[in-house]
Amino acid sequence: MTTVLETRYFFEVILDTRQEVEEYLSVHPEKESCRLIELAFDKYPLVVLEIDRGNFKYFENINSFRNYLKETDIQDIPKAKAVLIYSKSDDSTDEDCIKEIITPALTIYIIKGPYKSYYVNEDGIGSLEHHHLEYCDVYELIATGHLKRFGI
């Protein structure tokens, strides 16, 4: 059964058996702050949703993630501020090209196979395929089951 090792703010290991994860954990410098999560499914690819910072939910596939979003009040999703930098023309001023926007604090990771971070107790998940979702992405996924802009 697929097992995840989470540290305070990220997942560090996703392996096929609990025994593999426990071996990794046995030499972890901060094992007291780690937790093991056994998933009810054991096939790849799987979808990991990060809500805000360090709050992870695991889904068997994009459809189970979609079902979760359908049951969630979008207004209850934590919000994040993002800075949008763009250019209107070559002679635009800096003030014309920067806009702060509000986005849902959602990031999805597509895990295509067993994963072990190169870093112990540090954030290494940024190297995985991941996408920061905007509200239009959430609504598209709920409506169609796909995220066209990400090829999912």
pLDDT of residue 7: 85
What residues are paired with 67 via a beta bridge? Answer: none
Flag whether pLDDT at 119 surpasses 80: no
Alpha-carbon distance 112 to 101, whole Å?
31
What are the sequence ranges of the domains in the chain? Answer: 3-76+106-150
Flag whether pLDDT at 8 surpasses 60: yes
Q: What would the pLDDT profile of 71-108 be if each residue is shown by its tens digit?
A: 999 889 999 887 777 766 666 555 567 788 888 999 99
Over residues 111-135, mean pLDDT: 80
CB atoms closer than 10 angstroms to residue 133: 20
Q: What would the pLDDT profile of 24-70 be if each residue is shown by its tens digit?
A: 889 888 888 889 999 999 899 999 999 988 899 999 999 999 999 99
As to burial, measured by CB atoms within 10 angstroms (0-12 exposed, 13-18 middle, 19+ buried), residue 39 is middle
Instruction: Kindly state the tokens that stand for 144.
Output: 């169609």
pLDDT of residue 22: 92
Over residues 103-129, mean pLDDT: 81
66 versus 152: the higher-pLDDT residue is 66
